[in-house]
Amino acid sequence: MPVLEAVRLALQAVWSAKLRSFFTLLGIIVSVGFLVVVVAVIQGMNAYVKENLTGAIVGTNAFQVRRSPISVGLLDDEQVRAIAKRPLVSEEDAATVQRALPDAEAVALQSGWPTPISDVDYHDRTVGSVPIFGVTPAYQIVQDYRMLAGVPLTEPDVRERRPVAVLGYDIAEKLFDEPATAVGKKVRLSGREVLVTGVIQKKGRVLGQSFDAFVMLPLTTFESFYGRRKTTVVSVKMANADAVQPAMERAEEAMRVAHRLRPGEANDFTVDKADALVAFWRQLTRLLFTAIPAVVCVGIVVGGIVIMNIMLMSVTERTREIGLRKSLGARRADIRRQFLIEAVVLSTLGGIQGVLAGWGLAYVVSSLTPLPARITLWSVAVALALGAGAGIVFGVFPASRAARLDPITALRAE
């Protein structure tokens, strides 16, 4: 029997018993669909963290000079003690970095941890638990802020310690309904009155977290209200991503000279970008990728055993057909190939249905939740290979059993 004829007969057998075939393939469909959707979510999250979250926190093509590193997870006691002994990053450090990086698009100083949280009041309206940041004007360039209304913070605002503020879109919307009308109004922060000079365009949400719910003050005004922070940060924005790493090295060298550190002596500062966030997420996804194969393999094995049992039943049902084919000259290899092709076709159909189910579920996840999902060709290829592989592995025994049947005994079967 030619291969194409065997494939046609296999498809005909599946179609003639659609319900049985569906339940036969259910284990493979679920396993393959699970693989596709989980890989899609993980790949989407990897890209999302790299493209959006890190840029939203640190800035695009940017890095920071900090007292403490951007670390995800707990630091041990020794690390905490070592960081506590470091000097605060100062305005002089920002000037040092700026001199070392004349090609930087912006070098900004901003308040760090602990970030004060305050109610923002306007007449009878209050927005609670709003983070307040103190920044120099260049910070607005680092973060790619665009003004919806009014003007950004300026150098005179910082120099003269003016009581002015720029509101994030969400805060202006909650206080004034129409965000643009906030400009020129006075709001109260922690009992102090400040004039709103600008409202920033909406940046949106990242993983459900809004990046438009904040108030920015000139750094000097901020420090007169809330005192100096323990982790003042210098943020640097470069023209493109390729310039970031060389700029980090130059900034580190300039800071070591400014802090009079000897060769071999550890830095008393950190030059960091958001790699810690990406590294943390990749570590988490590595753990997920170690668990996924086990779950998928269990499902594939269960599905493969079901396919094997169905194929054994098919051999029993078609014993007379096998005897007739052998009596007409079919060899063992011909019979074995026919049943093996049927098993592969059956499991491949399960793999295709699983891919389609996973694809649809990934679309639903990305549409209805904050989790992004990206289907990758390699995950589809692996899923289809698993489906076909299950047919080969678990179809060998039924095919071999069919091939070993004695033709005379098989012809006598009822």
Q: 363 to each of 207, 220, 285, how far by Cα in Å? A: 17, 48, 20
Mean pLDDT of 46-70: 70
* pLDDT value, residue 349: 81
Mean pLDDT of 234-244: 86
CA 343 – CA 71 distance, rounded (Å): 51
pLDDT at 199 over 60: yes
Residue 353 exposure: Cα atoms within 13 Å on the Cβ side: 17
Range among 163-172, 279-288, 297-306, 353-362 rated most confident: 163-172
Contact 14, 342 (CB under 8 A): no
pLDDT at 160 over 70: yes
pLDDT at 206 over 70: no
Q: 184 to each of 23, 45, 161, 181, how far by Cα in Å? A: 68, 41, 18, 8
Q: Residue 268 has what DSSP assignment?
A: S
Contact 128, 119 (CB under 8 A): yes
Mean pLDDT of 157-171: 93
What is the pTM assigned to this prediction? 0.60
CA 54 – CA 46 distance, rounded (Å): 11
pLDDT at 249 over 80: yes
CA 287 – CA 318 distance, rounded (Å): 47
Residue 293 — pLDDT band, cuts 50, 70, 90? confident
* SS3 call for 162: coil
* pLDDT value, residue 209: 66
Q: What is the per-residue burial (b if ≥16 Cβ within 10 Å, else e) of 358-378? A: bbebbeebbeeeebbbbbeee
What percent of the chain is predicted at pLDDT more than 70?
A: 85
Residue 217 — pLDDT band, cuts 50, 70, 90? very high
